[in-house]
A and B are shown apart, each in its own frame.
Chain A
Amino acid sequence: MQTTLDADTTPAPAHLANHPTHWRNRGYAHHWKNRDEDFEASKFGMWLFLTTEVLLFAGIFCGYAVFRMLYPDAWSNGSHYLDWRFGAANTVVLLISSWTVASAVRCAQLNKQKWLKINLIITLLCAVLFVFIKLKFEYYVKLGDGKAPGTFFTYAFAENPHEVLWWSLYYVGTGIHALHVLIGASLLGWVLYRSWKYQAYGPTEYLMVENSALYWHLVDLVWIFLFPLLYLIH
């Protein structure tokens, strides 16, 4: 996407040159010795947080494994109800967004302000597309058929009484994942806003871009596991 990997050395536009939010003017918190320590610590904290996210989803994957073992027939039926093409489309959408968000981090490091914004916008469009496909072609249609979680399950043609458990886990798993998509998109939206308005991120100040991108990669990664487990394995 970049024509060259050399850093862009264009100075800040006049109205931002002395703005405290512009990346060249950013300080660091008083309890750190220098900017690098602040940066390293924040990234370390983000990785720890991602660990907690993995463990949060671990509960859902564990429940999936237990009930798959208990009710293999219901689980096989369940995956047949889902159209793998929508799942695959969403996988491609998220993979593209992971690439663009990684590019956004690189652009911030190289001070390519225009491409930073373009990459973020593509990522956000991917997030919107993902949620749109999920809601319009999957949730909406499935709920219309009565394939809903728990008490709302009214699907009359279920072959196996335990299919309701499959749908429960499907909605809980993909629902919490979709919530994470929205949280990640909000973070990236905030990054886009600040980079649009203040050029807040650049070679010495890209922590927020990097941490939001790390979060976004995790959202992507969880889907990479949800997709085969829910759509592909029969």
Chain B
Amino acid sequence: MTTLDAHAHHDEGSYFSGPPGMLSKVWQWMSTVDHKKIGVMYLFAILFMFFLGGVAALAVRYELMDPVRTVQTLDMETGEMITTTTGERLGGLKDIMGAKSANEVYNRMFTLHGAVMVFMFIVPSIPASLGNFFLPIMLGAKDVAFPRLNLLSWYIYVTGCVFGVLSILMGGVDTGWTFYTPYSTTTDADHWRVVLMILAAFILGFSSILTGMNFVVSVHKLRAPGMGWFDMPLFLWAIYATSIIQVLATPVIGITLLLLVFERTMHIGIFDPAMGGDPVLYQHFFWFYSHPVVYVMILPAMGIISELLAIHSRKHIFGYRAIAFSSLGIAAVSFLVWGHHIFTAMGELAAILFSGLTFLVAIPTAIKVFNWIATLYKGSIVLNTPMLYALAFLFTFSIGGLTGLPLATLATDLHLHDTYYVVAHFHYVMMGGTVIAFMGGIHHWWPKMFGKMYNEKAAILGCIIVFIGFNLTFFTQFFLGTQGMPRRYANYVDEFQTLHIISTYGSWLLLLGFLIHLGTFIASLVAGEKAPPNPWGGLTLEWETESPPIEHNFHHEPVLTHGPYDFETTVPPHWDPKDYPLPENPSRH
């Protein structure tokens, strides 16, 4: 058993130097309460889910290369009309998935893509992996506030994923990731797989709540001596704001999904219009969680960007407090804007209010973007992989943010809602924002987490290919949307085909880029050069300990003597002139 006793024997080796023997190693990982091991387990599970959701996305894009054409030809010998259908590229999966038609296969594919990516990948992505690993170290603590709860939250996550994967193995669901009623309560009525998928999301919510609670308490109670609220790295401010949303919003989706399960199994009628229930009530409940949760997805990414831009340009972050408070501001506003998902299902006044509140989000977001750009001004910018990803984030996230404004405007939203414009917009924020920042964060902290460097050139190549592939895939979809291509359809008119084909080619480039990253990571783990403790010259506390960190993170309790971004006045810990030069500055001491 693991022990949390204050006087336990302190192992000074790296956190993953375990006992000999395969079985005892596995048991040590499975029963660990070490936030670093839990973070690494989360990282690999989350990346696996990203792969799974990515396969479904590739299938969706593959189907969309062709519109479905039904051609009738006259057989000259028999005189009969022969009907042939072309373009149903996923038709071959029909029997394997037990679907009635090729279109149903398509519907299941985009549902799987959405459900896996949202509930199993992007919501836990940064907080549960990088957050778990680095939050305590950046605070100067030995662990999160509740290590056992942390392990429990990991197992709840795994259980939720197992439910989701079981549902997929049983054929998958075609409700869309939003489970809108009454369709979600009536489709596949004789199958358990829809209930399984709903339960998966319900269970994953608990994991999210526990992680959020853990982080809020950790930030309040475990800061190192000398670390005031405004001495925290901005990544921690972002995680803190994220955790508040997780704690406050997730219970609402819990009760909503529970009601949905009762609706499906017992027809309690609350969301069923035939019994006097209200399907729009479901949408209100659903988005009361699911809108705040998009900030659970993006806020930690913004935190990563604050770290990357400051460290890799060796500049003090511009507007520290403005960035910190804008994270809290976004968290606060996030609870007031859910109505913009259902503009057409509410009264005019409510729609106008929700539209106005939605515009408010742009203010703290723009504060962040301008501060980041100001940080870069006159910085010693190093164009390594993390920095390139951060710059890519600035570009794609800004497009994602700005294209949200026409959707918040009632008049233009009437034209754009439920089109590919919306798809492109949220992929620019979710993928161009969160995934790009996540990739940047993984590359930034990889040497610290695993003690190995990676091949910089290969990683930069991967980054560039991901960037091009991403823009090719999704920029085309802005045009598709404005021209009227609706989302969630397997079929379309011929005029859209060229753009769809470009978009699909882009998705293949994305695949190539991520495969290159996978290759560099594996090569790094197998034969990477040993990482120095502080390869980038960072000043946050994780760079003071070894790479990889020792089991209790620090040999002595760290005391904060400098701010996280005082590059102009502080020699970084473990500084080695071979690694990087210090900028000329006479005031340094």
Contact = CB atoms under 8 A, between A and B. Distances in A.
Contacts of A27: 5-7
A47 B296 CA distance: 21
Interface residues of A, number: 43
B265 to A, nearest CB: 8
B8 A30 contact: yes
A186 interface: no
Nearest to B214: A45
Contacts of B149: 45
B222 interface: yes
B170 interface: no
A56 B251 CA distance: 5
A59 interface: yes
Given A58-B252, A59-B256, A31 B267 contact: no
A40 interface: yes
A60 B7 contact: no
A56 B247 CA distance: 11
Interface residues on B, range: 35 or more
A198 interface: no
B291 to A, nearest CB: 15
A71 B276 contact: yes
A116 B113 CA distance: 54
B4 interface: yes
B217 A152 contact: no
B153 to A, nearest CB: 12
Contact of B259 (A41, A53, A63): A63
A137 interface: no
B209 A52 contact: yes
Interface in B234-272: 247-252, 254-256, 258-259, 262-263, 266-270
B221 interface: yes
B12 to A, nearest CB: 14
B266 A151 contact: yes
A28 interface: yes
Contact of A31 (B143, B250, B254, B277): B143
B281 A63 contact: yes
A134 interface: no
Nearest to A164: B269
B270 A168 contact: yes
A52 B266 contact: no
Interface string B1-38: 00011111000000000000000000000000000000
A57 interface: yes
A44 B269 CA distance: 38
A172 B251 contact: no
Nearest to A160: B276
A152 B5 contact: no
Interface string A38-70: 001110110011011111111110110011001
A51 B248 contact: yes
B117 interface: no
Nearest to B221: A41
Interface string B274-308: 01111001000100000000000000000000000
A189 interface: no
Contacts of A149: 262, 266, 268
A151 B189 CA distance: 14
A152 B250 CA distance: 30
B221 A37 contact: yes
A161 interface: yes
Interface string A193-204: 000000000000
A146 interface: no
A42 B5 CA distance: 16
Contacts of A152: 266
A164 B5 CA distance: 54
Contacts of A28: 6
A31 B147 CA distance: 9
B212 to A, nearest CB: 8
Rank and list the top 9 A-B pairs by shortest CB-CB distance, nearest first. A59-B255, A168-B268, A31-B142, A29-B4, A55-B251, A150-B266, A150-B267, A150-B268, A56-B251
Interface of B: 4-8, 136, 141-147, 149, 209, 213-214, 216-217, 220-222, 247-252, 254-256, 258-259, 262-263, 266-270, 275-278, 281, 285, 552
11 contacts: A30-B6, A31-B136, A41-B221, A45-B146, A45-B149, A55-B248, A59-B256, A62-B285, A150-B263, A150-B268, A168-B269
